[in-house]
Structure formats: structure tokens, C-alpha cells
Amino acid sequence: MTGHATNVTIVADIRQQDFSVEGADAVICDVPVAGPLAKVVALRDVPAAKPEACAAYVGPGEITHRALIETIALWGLPLLLDTSGATLKEVSRVVGWHQLAFRAGAVLQQSAALALPGGAQICLLHGWLGDAPPNLRAMSRMQRQALLPVGLVDCSPHGIAEIAVAAGASVIVRRPPGLAGYARAARAALALLGADRKHPDASEFAMLKQLRRKLVASRSLAAGHVIALDDLTLESPGPGEGEFAPYQVSQVVGRATKRAVGKGSGISAADLDGSVPEAPPWFSPRPPQHKPAG
């Protein structure tokens, strides 16, 4: 799994607290809570039985607790792993423990489980301890290494929701208060990031038509005239049906007109003798897939 998250889950850490959790999708708690929010259980030791929860949270102090990690994987319970203070080597080791145990467990994910991107069973939460720098670029490094969704345990004084989302966080753990505004900021940032494709929005097409230009006659052209480069100029709006964009000038120069074309009129395929030459292959920085013929 690579790239930016398409959704962000806000998890309120309310352990030993009693705050409003407005804006949250789930809560981390160590005691039973009432209400519709999904419950993420914080685990330090291996419980005697599988807890009633949508996911498990394991803190930074338990990243070496192999038995706990493997038990969570065997249960098929999604894991939010807090990697604060850990090295990339330690993170990779934990991911290995989890993946091997999950395959051995062959447990189907429950419908009530916390949904992670790509159906993943583990989300790697980046964080920092004490006065250490946030080093948010470590999130993308973990994602590239493990090909798993990443998130953030945001313990900054004023919250960095927008930066966390821009850095690729699909899960953010944050302690209240002020969670409602924080969640709004995170989701607004996600909306601004949009999709990871470069394509005009439907609302942009009309503007593009006016901004772009087409080939038009720079002077009046008689029927049978062989078009030269100085017979052409560029004008807005962009090309209509059968007309030519600037990059298609080689498909126009050297061809004769079938009919008179007025000055400033767009040149179209219907105005010209002969067929339109095949366009050369579009340049790509990628090497060819097949050996050229000959």
C-alpha cells in the first residue's frame, strides 16, 4: 500500500479522562464506555479472552511484547501500533510477527472491526516522546518500508491535524479537549488533498475552452492554397469539433485548402485536402516495453 489516505479516522484517547469526544470515530479506553462510538481497547498484557472491541491499541512500551502482538493477530483484531520512539528495524520486526501470526490464525475480520485502508490488519502510528521533534517524514518512510497504512499519535500542544493528513495519516489519535475542531480541520485537509490523479474537474472544462487556443488563418486563404506556417496564428477559444490545437500544426502545414477560409477562422479537417497524418507517439520517460522492429 502506498500513497495518501482517502479517509481519516479520528480516535479519541480518553483513558483516565472524561471529556467530550465530539468529532471522533472511535475511542481508546481502558474501562467500558457507553454510546455508539467504536471502542479501541488499549492492551499491555495478553488478556484471557478476546475483548469486545473494534481494534486494539498497543502503546510504545509494548513494541517488544511479541506474545501480545501475535495474540492480537491470531484474534483477527485490527491493531493500532504506537511506534513512538521505535526504530524502523523494530517496526519491521513487529510487522513480521503480526503477519506470520495472522496467517496462522486464519481468523476472518469481523464486520464491526475498525476499517483500515486496503483491508489492512495493522496501522503503524508514528509519534514522539517528550521533547523530541515530531519528524513527520518518518510516516512516509514507514509506509514505503512496510506497505501498510500509517497514522499519528498527535501529542502536540495545539494539534497538527492538517499536516498529519498531508503526511499521509489515515488514523489520528488525539486526546481531548478541542477534539471537534481538530476533527473538522483534519477532514477539511483531506478534502483539499483530493484524489491522487491529475484530471480536470467537470467545472473546469468551460474555463479551459476559453483559456486554450486553436489554429486559425492569419489571412484570408483561397481554395487550393497550400498552407504555410505564416498562414496560421493562435486564437481563443480552444479547438472545436475537427479543429486543430497548436501542437497539431504539423498536421496542417503543407496541405491545400478545399475551400476558402476567412481571416481569423479556425482551421478544421473539413477545410483541408487529404487525410490527417498519424500523430507521432507521445513522449514518455519510461523505456519501451518491446524491442523496436528492424
Q: What is the pLDDT of residues 212-268, one digit of tens each?
A: 999 999 999 999 999 999 999 999 999 999 999 999 999 999 999 999 999 999 999
Is 0.85 topped by the overall pTM? Answer: no
Question: Domain extents for the chain?
Answer: 9-193, 203-271
Any residues with CB less than 8 A from the CB of 162 and at least 6 apart, and which? 185, 186, 188, 189
Q: What is the pLDDT of residues 168-215, one digit of tens each?
A: 999 999 988 899 999 999 999 999 999 888 999 999 999 999 999 999
Class of 203-271 per CATH? alpha beta
* Pairing status of strand 232-235 against strand 214-217: antiparallel
Domain 9-193 architecture: Alpha-Beta Barrel (3.20)
| Mean pLDDT of the region 139-145 | 95
Side chain identity, residue 44: R
